[in-house]
């Protein structure tokens, strides 16, 4: 954990510190934002949902744009600017007083968050090579989960007080912490002379910028992103499906919602780095995602089973399902990262990582609707459909990875360096 929080590499350490602040901000924001929007601003739940859906669509486009901007201006610069603007957008929420201002601010907040996500992925792709890229990303995910958890705990004070002032104060703190995430990355080029060279596109012997392949014309990469987006729907289970399922379709106490989130957070913190070992190899990454898809299928069946048993057995089955789903999550992410990095053309690292992040954003936008329409509305049959979808997708990813490993040319070392 010490190596995770305080890595030796200067870029990894700057990203770690920035992630701590940003994740703490996210934990605070996610915990109180829904109540702030409805009770303080006075918006209806439907309006909030529609507004966030519009913002989600902006985030999808911004993810792709963030990669392009990173190739053009440097991923480190894009991340600093995007972090700062996102922090300002979070602060602006306290000034929102109607639907129009809420939607406008939400689009900015989600859009800039998507920009910085693509920039971070591009920084990893350009600064690190081979297994280091996946390992550092895994460690950053551990940092993210831990500090989101800490932010959630602190936000409990605002929820306990329950006043408009408490919610506003929490939103302001979240905005300030998002702004603070820019500090570790500011001036990074002055501290690390090689960074400016590594953040730009490679050049040929004449000094001309190398023109790489467009990710939109790379059918293997597009297929990989599409399949990974289906796997990323699993996060809709954690955020939407499981809370609604426990509260409305099982006899388990609602406190199990929080308990399962704690189980997931701890599991990811302990297992994500280990699960990522070796996934810089395309074949290993594909097999890892296949294993995750099959486990997600099992987890979906277990969640469904919890709806037809008594209180005690429902609690036991839900805990078992969460452990299986958490194992699937860390393997799915590890394999997905490996494919996103290793199948990309390093010349256009930003454009490729932007497309990959666009897939995550699209999954985040669609997941609530997909999970609700299947599992929540159709019960066990819906859970079975979801589980089958994850299992089939995992198998397809493994086949795609095997095909790519056998047919794609090796990347020249000089382009990676």
Tens digits of residue pLDDT in 16-40: 999 999 999 998 998 888 888 888 8
3-state secondary structure labels for all residues of the chain: CHHHHCCCCHHHHHHHHHHHHHHHHHHHHHHHHHHHHHHHCCCCHHHHHHHHHHHHHHHHHHHHHHHHHHHHHCHHHHHHHHHHHHHHHHHHHHHCCCHHHHHHHHHHHHHHHHHHHHHHHHHHHHHCCCHHHHHHHHHHHHHHHHHHHHHHHHHHHHHHHCCHHHHHHHHHHHHHHHHHCCHHHCCHHHHCCCHHHHCCCCECCCCCECCCCCHHHCHHHHHHHHHHHHHHCHHHHHHHHHHHHHHHHCCCCCHHHHHHHHHHHHHHHHHHHHHCCCCCCHHHHHHHHHHHHHHHHHHHHHHHHHHHCCHHHHHHHHHHHHHHHHHHHHHHHHHHHHHHHHCCCHHHHHHHHHHHHHHHHHHHHHHHHHHHHHHHHHHHHHHHHHHHHHHHHHHHHHHHHHHHHHHCCCCCHHHHC
144-175 confidence digits (pLDDT tens) = 988 988 888 888 888 888 888 999 999 999 99
Query: Average pLDDT of the chain?
Result: 88
Report all structural domains of the chain as residue ranges with CATH numbers, in order of start. Answer: 9-198 (1.20.1250.20), 215-409 (1.20.1250.20)
CB 76 within 8 A of CB 185: yes
**Over 50: is that where the pLDDT of 93 sits?**
yes
Q: Is the pLDDT of residue 272 over 80?
A: yes
Using the predicted structure, report yes or no on whether residue 326 has a pLDDT greater than 80: yes
**In this structure, what token pair is assigned to residue 169?**
């104060």
Whole-angstrom distance, CA of residue 146 vs CA of residue 222: 32
Q: 398: which 2 tokens?
A: 């493994």
Q: Which tens digits make up the pLDDT trace of 222-236?
A: 999 999 999 999 988
Per-residue model confidence as pLDDT tens digits over 366-414: 888 888 889 888 999 999 999 999 999 999 999 999 999 888 765 544 4
Return the pLDDT at 59: 92
Confidence of residue 203 (pLDDT cuts 50, 70, 90): low
Q: Which of 80-94, 101-115, 254-268, 291-305 has the lowest mean pLDDT?
A: 254-268
Does residue 101 carry a pLDDT above 80?
yes
pTM (2 d.p.) = 0.84
Percent of the chain at pLDDT > 90 equals 54
């Amino acid at each position: 954990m010490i190596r995770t929080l305080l890595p030796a590499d200067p870029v990894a350490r700057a990203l770690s510190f920035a992630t701590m602040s940003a994740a703490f901000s996210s934990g605070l924001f996610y915990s109180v934002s829904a109540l702030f929007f409805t009770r303080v601003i006075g918006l209806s739940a439907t309006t909030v949902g529609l507004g966030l859906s519009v913002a989600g669509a902006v985030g999808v486009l911004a993810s792709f744009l963030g990669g392009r901007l990173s190739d053009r201006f440097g991923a480190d610069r894009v991340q600093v600017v995007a972090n700062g603007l996102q922090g300002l957008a979070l602060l602006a929420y306290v000034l929102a007083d109607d639907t129009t201002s809420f939607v406008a601010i939400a689009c900015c907040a989600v859009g800039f968050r998507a920009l910085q996500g693509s920039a971070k992925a591009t920084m990893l792709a350009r600064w690190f090579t081979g297994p280091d890229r996946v390992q550092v990303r895994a460690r950053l995910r551990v940092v993210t989960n831990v500090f989101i958890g800490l932010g959630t705990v602190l936000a409990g004070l605002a929820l306990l007080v329950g006043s408009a002032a408490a919610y506003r104060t929490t939103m302001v703190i979240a905005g300030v912490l998002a702004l603070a995430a820019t500090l570790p990355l500011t001036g990074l080029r002055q501290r690390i002379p090689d960074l400016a060279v590594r953040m730009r596109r490679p050049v040929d012997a004449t000094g001309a910028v190398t023109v790489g392949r467009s990710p939109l014309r790379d059918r293997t990469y597009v297929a990989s992103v599409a399949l990974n987006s289906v796997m990323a729907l699993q996060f809709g289970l954690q955020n939407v499906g499981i809370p609604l399922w426990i509260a409305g379709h099982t006899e388990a106490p609602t406190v199990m919602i929080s308990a399962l989130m704690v189980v997931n957070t701890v599991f990811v913190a302990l297992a994500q780095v280990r699960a990522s070992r070796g996934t810089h190899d395309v074949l290993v990454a594909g097999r890892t995602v296949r294993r995750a898809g099959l486990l997600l299928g099992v987890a979906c069946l277990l969640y469904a089973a919890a709806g037809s048993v008594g209180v005690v057995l429902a609690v036991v089955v839900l805990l078992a399902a969460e452990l299986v789903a958490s194992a699937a999550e860390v393997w799915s992410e590890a394999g997905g990262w490996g494919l996103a990095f290793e199948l990309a053309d390093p010349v256009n690292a930003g454009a490729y990582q932007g497309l990959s992040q666009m897939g995550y954003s699209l999954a985040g936008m669609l997941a609530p609707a997909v999970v609700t329409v299947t599992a929540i509305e159709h019960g066990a049959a819906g859970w079975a459909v979801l589980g089958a979808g994850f299992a089939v997708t995992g198998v397809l990813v493994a086949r795609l990875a095997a095909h790519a490993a056998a047919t794609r040319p090796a990347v020249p070392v000089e382009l990676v360096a």
